[in-house]
Amino acid sequence: MIPDRELFSGCAARALRDSPVFSLDRILHGREAGRSLPVRRGFTLIEVVIAIVIVGVLAALGFASMSSDLPRYRLIRTSRELRSDLMHLRNLAIQSNRETRLRLSASGGDCADVEVGGGAWALEIGNRASGSTRWDILPEDAASDGVDDHQGEGLRDIGPDGNRRARHVCLRDWGVLGGPGVGNADSVVFSPRGWVANPGTDFAGSGAIELHLVNQEAARRGVDDAVALRIARTGLVRFETTLGLGDDGPAWGTASASTLP
């Protein structure tokens, strides 16, 4: 006769062995009746191939989107930097009581050729309130010895090797820009009042001097993506894009109404 205590222990052991918890423990530890169960590790070749295909498709979609967005980002960034340069020169003219000018030194022509782009300009301060005979590229350092030794703050070049490189962004040729007086061709000159001193012939029909930047990568795809910077007689600057992004505000009227003869 089996004692009650031994009978109870045997029943408890069988119940524990047959329980889901005990079975799960055997599976997790790879043991069943003294035999090791095969444990699956890693991924199959098919799963790896599927993952690689999915990652490749996502990367291709992201690259296609980025390749079209980057040139536009550079276009807007360069346009804002050019506007900032113009406003800086205007404020400097008011503060120093001397003329300042933005001198355009290089363009990308009509910007039709994607391989030919870029553009360059310089920020300069004159030596007089009017009719300056000497111009110093920023920072100003020629007053003491007559030599413009440092020009790091005043030179801008968006070409392939420039200090403001903007790939696929082109400064379109500005046409005839005579500037005031003598020696100010291809320049926008600010007076100590903060006004633009250029003659009326430099202003377009919009009543402003216009500079145009072009997204050449978009042009290659048949999309007209360009920015027009318009500099009013009062020295204020705004820009508008062909795709609708630009400054809010009323138009400036015509050249005859908003420029001096």
Q: What is the CA radius of gyration of the chain?
A: 36
Q: What angle do CA 157, 163, 169 make, to 5 degrees?
A: 50
Amino acid type, 165: R
d(CA 225, CA 170): 11
Asked whether 136 and 124 are in contact (CB, 8 A), the reply is yes
Q: What angle do CA 244, 250, 252 make, to 5 degrees?
A: 105
Q: What's the whole-number mean pLDDT along residues 179-185? A: 95
Asked whether residue 151 falls in the same domain as residue 172, the answer is yes
Asked whether residue 35 falls in the same domain as residue 60, the answer is no
Asked whether residue 31 falls in the same domain as residue 56, the answer is no
Maximum mean pLDDT: which of 98-112, 143-157, 236-250? 98-112
- 248 has a pLDDT exceeding 70: no
In sequence order, the β-bridge partners of residue 212 are 228
In sequence order, the β-bridge partners of residue 35 are 32
Asked whether residue 216 falls in the same domain as residue 119, the answer is yes
Asked whether 100 and 189 are in contact (CB, 8 A), the reply is yes
**Distance between first and last Cα of the chain:** 129
Q: What's the whole-number mean pLDDT along residues 7-25? A: 50
Asked whether residue 211 falls in the same domain as residue 84, the answer is yes
Domain that holds residue 37: 4-41
In sequence order, the β-bridge partners of residue 187 are 103
Asked whether residue 131 falls in the same domain as residue 106, the answer is yes
Q: What's the whole-number mean pLDDT along residues 15-29? A: 50
Write out the two tokens for 38. Answer: 């095969």
Asked whether residue 133 falls in the same domain as residue 184, the answer is yes
Return the CATH number at 155: 3.55.40.10
- 108 has a pLDDT exceeding 50: yes
Instruction: Report the percentage of the chain scoring pLDDT > 90.
Output: 55
- 25 has a pLDDT exceeding 70: no
HEC secondary structure over the chain = CCCHHHHHHHHHHHHHHHCHHHHHHHHHHCEECCEECCCCCCCCHHHHHHHHHHHHHHHHHHHHHHHHHHHHHHHHHHHHHHHHHHHHHHHHHHHHCCCEEEEEEECCCCCCCCCCCECEEEEEEECCCCCCCCEEECCCCHHHHCCCCCCCCCEEECCCCCCCCCCCEEECCCCCCCCCCCCCCCEEEECCCCCECCCHHHCCCCCEEEEEEEEHHHHHCCCCCEEEEEEECCCCEEEEECCCCECCCCCCCCHHHHCCC
Asked whether residue 36 falls in the same domain as residue 52, the answer is no
pLDDT in tens, 117-156: 899 999 999 999 999 999 999 998 766 666 666 778 999 9
Confidence band for 251, pLDDT divided at 50, 70 and 90? very low
More confident residue, 207 or 141: 207
Task: State how many domains the chain has.
Answer: 2
Asked whether residue 35 falls in the same domain as residue 142, the answer is no
Q: What's the whole-number mean pLDDT along residues 11-38? A: 51
Asked whether residue 187 falls in the same domain as residue 202, the answer is yes
- The gap from C-alpha 55 to its chain's centroid, in whole angstroms, comes to 27
- 26 has a pLDDT exceeding 80: no
Confidence band for 209, pLDDT divided at 50, 70 and 90? very high
pTM of the model: 0.71
Asked whether residue 128 falls in the same domain as residue 180, the answer is yes
Asked whether residue 18 falls in the same domain as residue 90, the answer is no
Lowest average pLDDT, out of 7-16, 77-86, 114-123, goes to 7-16
